Amino acid sequence: MTEIEMMQTARVYLDKMANGVDPLTDRAVAETDCLNQIRISRCLFYVSNVLGRVIESGGKMGGARKAAKQPFTVSYDLLEHFPLSDKPITVSEMSKRLNELAEPGTMTKLKTTSITGFLMESGLLEAAPAADGSTYKVPTEQGRSIGISVEERTGRYGRYRVTLYNIDAQQFILDNIEAVIALNGRKAEPGTEKAENQGRPWTAADDEMLAEMFGRGASETEIAAALKRTARGVRARLKRIR
């Protein structure tokens, strides 16, 4: 085995461990295993990325051109470690926590405007006029139903409004992260085109149909087509209701 091949094998092992998988058995490790600690996972992803750049440079350890940052993305395995807050938080705090899940220094940042843009396109936020002639974002009736609210606060320069997201609204954003990422400047991958119901809240009827189709062995693609959602969205919803 050449040195490059050894590096490639090592990177495969690192990626598996970063995703909580035993590289020798290909089985998921226990929830209590250190590999399922988010800080360990992020370090492993970082080392894997560095090793990948060494491989691309033909095994040279130095002098390689600095790699361009990749578009923001986050796996559903990492999203399971997202620190949901029982106390409502702002969208900037939401994006901060999502960026902390990504590989440090290797990706572009997820912008807060990508989250609010998705919510506005989904009819959950709308622009309201302020007294000074500017506009600010407020939840629609549908937005309030998923846990978005507005709170008035007093600061150094007087009273101001802040839009907050409770734990249900936070989870809604996580469930629709691929739509948020698409707005962040990342091209949708094949098969991830926007579905008719993508981004809309799940209803009790949707959940009932999801459970029934899954119970009789329908594939995620079949379920997605029936519910007019993406397969990734179906996969995320299954994790919540199972």
Given a cut of 60, whether residue 62 has pLDDT beyond it is no
pLDDT, residue 167, reads 96
**63: pLDDT confidence band, cut at 50, 70 and 90?**
low
More confident residue, 100 or 53: 100
User: How many residues are given for the chain?
Assistant: 242
**115: pLDDT confidence band, cut at 50, 70 and 90?**
very high
- Compute the distance between CA of residue 173 and CA of residue 169 in angstroms, rounded to an integer: 6
pLDDT, residue 172, reads 95
Model confidence pLDDT, tens digit, residues 165-218: 999 999 999 999 988 988 887 444 444 456 677 767 888 888 888 888 888 777
| 173 HSE (CA, 13 A, CB side) | 36
DSSP one-letter code for 87: S
Q: Give the 3-state secondary structure of residue 64.
A: coil
pLDDT, residue 192, reads 43
Longest dimension (CA), the chain: 70
pLDDT, residue 174, reads 94
Domain ranges of the chain: 1-67, 69-187, 191-242
Model confidence pLDDT, tens digit, residues 7-36: 888 888 888 888 888 888 888 888 788 877
Model confidence pLDDT, tens digit, residues 33-47: 887 777 787 888 788
> For the whole model, what pTM was predicted?
0.55
Those residues with Cβ within 8 angstroms of residue 199's Cβ, 6 or more apart along the chain or in another chain: 118, 121, 122, 176, 179
pLDDT, residue 133, reads 65
DSSP one-letter code for 36: G
* Single-letter amino acid, residue 109: K
- Compute the distance between CA of residue 225 and CA of residue 230 in angstroms, rounded to an integer: 8
**150: pLDDT confidence band, cut at 50, 70 and 90?**
very high
What is the chain's mean pLDDT, rounded? 82
